[in-house]
Structure 1
């Protein structure tokens, strides 16, 4: 695997592949890789001849009081994992390369509707930062396909909408969430949890599964969500949000909707954890 940090090197390698008629897959990450990230590389191999990964902790998607300074950076370990997964090229730009004019003077991308609510409400400006950096990385790499994990469900809907609205010739592939044996969704922020907190954090996915089991026979969604929040809070976590939404539009679910998604976020110790569960009703 080759590692490059500037745009010229990246484009030289990818253009050489293009001249050979090879399909290019892309997996953008913020590093501190775990098995969930590697599953994205493995999925990309099914659809492309050459795989590019990027590691960039994007300052535009972090709020003023969020954890960018403490976000784990483990480049050497990440490179070893990517080599083992047969990644072909790693792009590791700095903020100065991605945002040479500074954040305050950077053109940005705003995706309406699906960016509203949920993490968009809890983290104002977050999805503007996500859409902007993914748009720029797509422009730099120009992949045929790109893989993203379903743990960040709202993020995938934002990116799919952006690709559709801006007529980008990229197939965005959603990959199932990789989980610990306990059911906890794998996340770099799980590193903030001690053993006791990890045991507590499992209640988030357990509560979502309980909620999913109730949807077929109960039509009072507000009451169910109130009970779900109480379960999460009683476990020792603090609920940020839990909602039932239409799986594609992310609008609040109605009784006529059959394709649903449960979206949830909760604080556990120092970590803010997110998860989701898709539900198909008969």
Structure 2
């Protein structure tokens, strides 16, 4: 497996792969890889000739009071996981490689980024769209793989690709969970043993909400209320949001009459966790 730290190193390999007619898959990550990332890499390995994993904690998607400095990192472990799964190249640039001192260009998607996580993290998705756009251009990938756990991110990237005519296919992959239902996340490492046990309340609440929808409940307010009540039964939990939105524009809906995303963001002992379910 190749380890590249510069854009030119990546491009040099991509030029040769393209010359050879090979299909390239990209898995964008912020490192500290876990089984969720592994599922994306494995999917890419099964569908593409070459697989690039980006391992970059993107500073421009973190707000001033967020956890950029303390975000977990373990590049050696990331390399071992990627190599074991058959990745061909891991791209691990410094921020200065991705953003020059006079960098002024940003990409964003209106409407879809306004609600859900966008309410409390107003700069986040512009940072995501900008770095993802750069990675698409650098790698010239044919397919890019994203997890459903970050459902708003997945929807925004898909819309950006459609609206801006990127020549790439976006592949959404299922949420990977712990045995007790907690969605895999790099931020789970912040949880104390007690908070980790209490964090399962998210999955419990969403499971009840999904059961209601699949049983025919069309009142989104009832679904939101039930999920909220279950989460609030846990004293360590502090809700950022509980929302039921249409899957197309990610706008809050009161009546469920089409595909929906039900998403939550909850602080468990000051650690912000997200989870969701989709009913098509």
TM-score by length of 1: 0.95
2:114 maps to 116
Once superposed, what is the RMSD of the aligned Cα atoms?
Answer: 1.3
> What secondary structure sits across from 2:112 in the alignment?
coil
Deviates more, 1:246-255 or 1:126-135: 246-255
2:92 maps to 92
Q: Does structure 2 conserve the Cα–Cα contact (< 8 Å) formed by 1:2 and 1:90?
A: yes
Aligned pair count reads 278
2:225 maps to 226
Residue among 196, 203, 206 paired with 2:204: 206
Once the 2 structures are TM-superposed, how far is the Cα of residue 194 of structure 1 from its aligned partner? 1.7
How many angstroms apart in 1 are the aligned matches of 2:104 and 2:180?
42
1:148 maps to 146
2:155 maps to 157
| Uncovered stretches (5+) of structure 2, i.e. residues with no partner | none
Q: Is residue 33 of structure 2 the alignment partner of residue 33 of structure 1?
A: yes
2:46 maps to 46
1:263 maps to 263
1:131 maps to 129
Once the 2 structures are TM-superposed, how far is the Cα of residue 256 of structure 1 from its aligned partner? 5.4
> What secondary structure sits across from 2:267 in the alignment?
strand
Deviates more, 1:240-249 or 1:218-227: 218-227
Deviates more, 1:256-265 or 1:3-12: 256-265
How many angstroms apart in 1 are the aligned matches of 2:3 and 2:118?
33
How many angstroms apart in 1 are the aligned matches of 2:23 and 2:144?
11
CA deviation profile, 1:54-111 (whole Å, cap 9, x unmatched): 1110111000100010001100010000010000001011110111125xx4200011
Once the 2 structures are TM-superposed, how far is the Cα of residue 271 of structure 1 from its aligned partner? 1.4
Q: Which runs of at least 4 in structure 1 moved beyond 3 Å after TM superposition? A: 216-220
Q: Does structure 2 conserve the Cα–Cα contact (< 8 Å) formed by 1:243 and 1:252?
A: yes
| Uncovered stretches (5+) of structure 1, i.e. residues with no partner | none
